Amino acid sequence: MKKNYVIPFFIPHEGCPHKCVFCDQRKISGHRGVSPDDVARTVDAYLSTIPASGTNVEIGFFGGTFTGLSALVQEGFLRAAYPFVEKGVVNGIRLSTRPDFIDKRKLDLLKRYEVRCVELGVQSMSDNVLTAAKRGYVSGDVEKASAMILKEGFLLGHQMMIGLPFSHPEDEYYTAMRACELGASQVRIYPVVVVDGTELASWWNEKRYVPLSESEAIKRCANLMIYFEISGIKVIRCGLHPSEGLLGDDCLAGPFHPAFRQKVESRIFGLMLSRLEKMDDILGIAFNPEDEAVFFGFQKENLPFLRNISHSVKDLVKKDMSVLRGSFMVKTREKDFHVERSFIAGECLPSMLL
Ligand code: SF4
């Protein structure tokens, strides 16, 4: 399988007339403005570190509302990126934008530069939650934009948030369900963090908003990841990444951890392993070596499950490249079987998602 790389450009707040309660785009992106002149140099620098074969490389314009920029500025960025696609050293261009900044004319422009994937900053499909977050559009706008993006031949990505004001797990499950129904093939899940200088920070100061605890955020994200993965949707990000430049002092509260996704994956493996504890005839468990850290868990938190299966974890487990990532193989006296996300779907997901 090819390894994916995205060469990211964060375009803070450019073109965005809104002020969502959680957003200070400049702080979240950690960048103070990018111009089309920066693109070629940056792409060349990234490409010099990426293997030339066995990879899928994309240039991504994130952070702002790309299609809200003037056509001239959009073209400036696209024209700077496109030669890399033409030369075949980059496989495609992707970008993120708001659902209410999509129309046929805007998509025609993106098509001219062979943009491959358009990610919508959906955040929630619950209109109450969208209103409370001051997003400035409703779920119907997401539906229209998603349909148009697919009709024009782009891949569709949805970005969603957990822990928004007034957002309950049911709102988030509903948002995930709609992403599947609307045809998203990839998603990003962002837990809300309180960023200094935002309206949410004032609410947090006044105790009108309480962010999710880390353990609750991990639990919600794990359930969503299980759902997306059994639905065939790729989760390309879970948690804010350190490369997005969220500086320590700017994050006032909330579930921000540089290894957030690893913690979520660890929890999923922990849940899958805990289901084996009652079986007394397990002879061995094989996992993909690339999953080693999450199989044993963040700070080895899954070891107790393995010790409950066998006194000698060393003799119980082995690495096997042929095992599908995100799963493991179990060998018993009677049979061998494959344990994947669907193994725990019943206990983790509400009936609306099953
Ligand atoms: S639409 Fe995006 S860039 Fe604009 S304020 Fe909201 S989150 Fe920030």
Q: Cα of 16 to ligand 1 centre, how many Å?
A: 6
Residues sharing a CB contact under 8 Å with residue 8, sequence separation 6 or more, in sequence order: 60, 62, 243
Domains 3-258 and 275-353 share a fold: no
Q: Cα of 176 to ligand 1 centre, how many Å?
A: 20
Output Rg (C-alpha) for the chain, integer angstroms.
21
d(CA 348, CA 219): 9
Nearest-CA residue for ligand 1 atom 2 is 64
Q: Cα of 311 to ligand 1 centre, how many Å?
A: 52
Output the pLDDT for position 63: 78
Output the pLDDT for position 248: 54
User: Is 13 a pocket residue for ligand 1 (Cβ < 6 Å)?
Assistant: yes
Domains of the chain, residue spans: 3-258, 275-353
What residue ranges of the chain have pLDDT lower than 50? none
Q: Give the containing element (helix H, strand E) for 159.
A: strand 155-162
Q: Cα of 63 to ligand 1 centre, how many Å?
A: 8
- Contact predicate 272/339, CB 8 Å: yes
- Contact predicate 236/184, CB 8 Å: no
Nearest atom in ligand 1 to the alpha carbon of residue 136 is 1
275-353: CATH, from 3.30.2320, 3.30.300, 3.40.50, 3.30.70: 3.30.2320
Output the pLDDT for position 13: 60
Nearest atom in ligand 1 to the alpha carbon of residue 64 is 3
User: Is 65 a pocket residue for ligand 1 (Cβ < 6 Å)?
Assistant: yes
Q: Cα of 140 to ligand 1 centre, how many Å?
A: 18
Output the pLDDT for position 31: 56
Output the pLDDT for position 18: 85
User: Is 159 a pocket residue for ligand 1 (Cβ < 6 Å)?
Assistant: no
Residue-wise burial string across 262-299, b where 16 or more C-beta atoms lie within 10 A, e elsewhere: bbbbbbbbbbbbbebeeeeeeeebbbbeebeebbbbbe
Q: What pTM was computed for the model? A: 0.95
Residues sharing a CB contact under 8 Å with residue 206, sequence separation 6 or more, in sequence order: none
User: Is 19 a pocket residue for ligand 1 (Cβ < 6 Å)?
Assistant: yes
d(CA 79, CA 106): 15
Characterize the bridge pairing of strands 194-195 and 251-253: antiparallel
Output the pLDDT for position 32: 58
Nearest atom in ligand 1 to the alpha carbon of residue 28 is 8
CATH topology for 3-258 is: TIM Barrel (3.20.20)
